[in-house]
Amino acid sequence: MSRIVRSGQYELNVEELKVGGEGDRMTLSVGPHHPSTHGVLRMILEIEGERIVKATPEIGFLHTGIEKHAEHLTWTQAITVLDRMDYLAPLSNNLGYVLAVEKLLGIEPPPRAKTVRILLTELQRIASHCIWLGTTALDIGSQSVLMYAFNIREQILDLFEEATGARMNPSYFRVGGLANDLPNGFEDMVRRFLDEFPERLREIRTILDKNPIWLDRLRGVGVLKPDQALALGVTGPNLRASGVPYDVRKAYPYAGYDEYEFDVPVGESGDCYDRYLVRVHEMMESHRICRQALERLEPGPVMVDDRKIALPPKEELRHSMEALIHHFKLVSYGFDVPAGEAYQAIESPRGEIGFYVVSNGKNKPWRVRVRGPAFFNVFAMPVMMEGALLADMVAVIASVDPVFGEVDR
């Protein structure tokens, strides 16, 4: 049965695949459903024996039309669809979009909202890196690290459920502040988690850091030089592992990050092992930021006071006609955002996620363009995979940490 499979410039006639022999090239299509747990990516590899000569990623298996859908929802409703892009770190998407819209509106959230935003975003970064760590270890072969890492993540998800009501895709940050205030006792829960976390991370690092299997599979694999990385638009831990100390939180501070003290880990050789080390150190730095955020947390409002943008408190609805009108208008129509464009870049666990928001003055976004870091990271993978062994492909995909909700949107 011969079939022609067409994809982009590739046309594979299934009967014509040549197999075997020295110097014979074989085209192998890996995916989109494959054992590596990193999502729906199709890698079309040209291999000679075990060596990968050329790799071409094919994406689009999770294209959801999120950018188009956001144009048909109000500014607040769009937060829900945009959450589901980078689904390992939904609060990062939240934060970026909300900051971009606040830029257009020209408003600033109150200080308590800013602190909570940073606290939850950094906890989200730890959770995302935990998934990355667990699934990467699983791909390389260690199942126990998956269990440990997901256990850490469960504790963080418990915190999110307390604060926002949902473990994932909380849509918690709103334009002007937060959806609701933190519950009582939340700070103690966070403190308990932060007290335990370094020990848990140390357990995982004891298994992995000097492990000969880990080192053998990751050291020297998937090297990305800094100039290649910059030319390909790679950002985030992948760029920092190659030696470029670019972190959006330090370069263009947003949401109050310039008041916090933290360092930016930078690797040397740009291989998979450096990417692992950079992310692990980033988790410790996020832990530091969370502690500082907890200290700064002070009682206060969590939403900006502008009745044209924020819902009035429920008690006011009982006796104030204006509050009722505002509530009705905000819930049924939304709020208008002045016409213009804004670009807000955020450091998500994958890199620089940019939200280019265009408004035409109405209650729905005219265009929300999301510059997804994973999109550009995926197209840097062929450079990392050239000349590597077939088994290294899994290590490279795992260490680059793509999230296909963000790649395909």
Whether 171 contacts 94, CB under 8 Å: yes
Q: Select the residue interacting with another protein from 18, 210, 318, 319 (CB under 8 A).
A: 210
User: Please, which residue, 78 or 182, has the CB nearer to another protein?
Assistant: 78
* From 28, 343, 362, 389, residue interacting with another protein (rule: CB under 8 A): 343
Among 187, 252, 256, 316, binds another protein (CB under 8 A): 252
150-158, 294-302, 303-311, 388-396 -> range binding another protein (CB under 8 A): 150-158
Contacts to another protein from residues 213-242, by CB under 8 A: 215, 219, 227, 230-233
Which of 2, 3, 8, 184 touches another protein (CB under 8 A)?
A: 8
Query: By CB under 8 A, is residue 202 in contact with another protein?
Result: no
Q: Does 65 bind another protein (CB under 8 A)?
A: yes
Could you tell me if 302 and 177 are in contact, meaning their C-beta atoms sit under 8 angstroms apart?
yes
Tokens 């030319």 belong to residue: 231
CB 71 within 8 A of CB 368: yes
Q: Kindly tell me which of 271 and 302 has the beta carbon lying closer to another protein.
A: 271
CB of 233 to another protein, least distance (A): 3
**Burial per residue of 180-219, b for 16 or more beta-carbon CB atoms within 10 angstroms, e otherwise:** ebbeeebeebbeebbeebeebbeebbeebeebeebeebbe
Sites for another protein among residues 16-55 (CB under 8 A) = 32-35, 37, 39-40
DSSP string across 388-403: -BHHHHHHHHHHH---
The nearest distance, CB 265 to another protein, in angstroms, is 4
Nearer to another protein, 263 or 322 (CB): 263
Using rule CB under 8 A, residue 342 touches another protein: yes
Exposure of 167 by Cβ count < 10 A (0-12 exposed, 13-18 middle, 19+ buried)? middle
- Interface with another protein, residue 200, by CB under 8 A: no
Which neighbouring-strand residues pair with 55?
45
* Residue 354 in the binding site for another protein (CB under 8 A): yes
Q: Does 264 bind another protein (CB under 8 A)?
A: yes
Contact 358, 379 (CB under 8 A): no
Three-class DSSP category at 222: coil
Closest CB 66 distance from another protein, rounded Å: 8
Binding-site member from 49, 292, 336, 356 for another protein (CB under 8 A): 356
Question: What are the structure tokens assigned to 24, written together?
Answer: 């014979």
From the list 91-99, 308-316, 317-325, 342-350, the region that binds another protein by CB under 8 A is 342-350
DSSP assigned state of 315: G
Q: How far is the CB of 318 from another protein (least distance, A)?
A: 32
Distances (CA, A) of 151 to 78, 113, 144, 191, 352: 31, 28, 11, 17, 27
